[in-house]
Amino acid sequence: MVIISSKVSAGIAIIVIVLIFPWTCPNTQAQTDITFKPADKFSIPSYNGTISFAVNGTYSKATFENETWTFTNLCLNGSQPLENFTISAQNCNVTIFSYQTFNSTTFQGAMLRYEVEGKGNQILNLGLGPQQGGFSASVQWSVILSNNAFATEGQDWSISHDGTMVVNGATSNITIVHWGFSESSVPNSNLPFYEQHSVAIIIAVAVAATVIVAVAVKVTNRKHSGESELVKNA
């Protein structure tokens, strides 16, 4: 039987905070001037792609240049602010669900969840860069698919030095994860595999739980929508 160490337990607590806090605590940041709704589409005609959001939100500025949308001070309802976010979609439609972060003296994390319709590519940048401060030696990026599998870097996705990520041909729900420990708390390479990769493993499990909740919410909303249509037609 595998015994979960204190480091793994701490990781579980961190991921719970990352996943739950943004949903249970509304964003108290002052609202920006421009609002959007799930019905709004940000088109990329030359690439045959669109960007939309699953929830209401706001941004201070949105610009379209070089087939890429750039959002400044993006705030999705139930999520944390995303100061600088660029995204483009090639031969697919992208719906963004949430953006969540957690920062402490020993751990940092960020998680973007979105859904893809069509087997195309997504090019995006969360404005974090591949490295940050004292976390440079241990920062990692991951792309987690809807079946809780990790996509393969160099084959399914790639990232440039400025933090621009390209996800190739993924479908359904996608989660982009950026996380790392500080220099002083990097897991020891002599530790067992599950302890060295505890955060990644926990994130995968947490993402699976989040996807299940998201699907349940979507099914419930569709059911209520259908019931409303029946009432109207009665």
CB 144 within 8 A of CB 203: yes
Per the domain annotation, does 83 fall within a domain?
yes
pLDDT tens sequence across 14-51: 454 444 444 433 444 455 479 999 999 999 999 999 99
Both tokens of 103, joined, read 């920062």
pLDDT score for 1: 36
How many domains is the chain partitioned into structurally?
1
What count of Cα atoms within 13 Å lies in the side-chain half-sphere of residue 234?
Answer: 6
Token match 């893809």: residue? 116
Per the domain annotation, does 195 fall within a domain?
yes
Which domain does 101 fall in, by range? 6-233
* CA atoms of 173 and 146, how far apart (whole Å): 5
Per the domain annotation, does 108 fall within a domain?
yes
pLDDT tens sequence across 176-234: 988 776 554 444 555 454 445 555 555 555 555 555 545 554 555 555 555 545 545 55
CB 33 within 8 A of CB 73: no
Per the domain annotation, does 1 fall within a domain?
no
- Region class of 20: left (phi > 0), else alpha (psi between -120 and 50), else beta: alpha
- Residue from 45, 21, 126, 123 nearest 83 by CA: 126
Per the domain annotation, does 82 fall within a domain?
yes
pLDDT tens sequence across 141-183: 889 988 878 899 899 999 988 889 999 988 889 999 887 765 5
CB neighbours of 1 closer than 8 A, spacing ≥ 6? none
Per the domain annotation, does 116 fall within a domain?
yes
Both tokens of 210, joined, read 């989040």
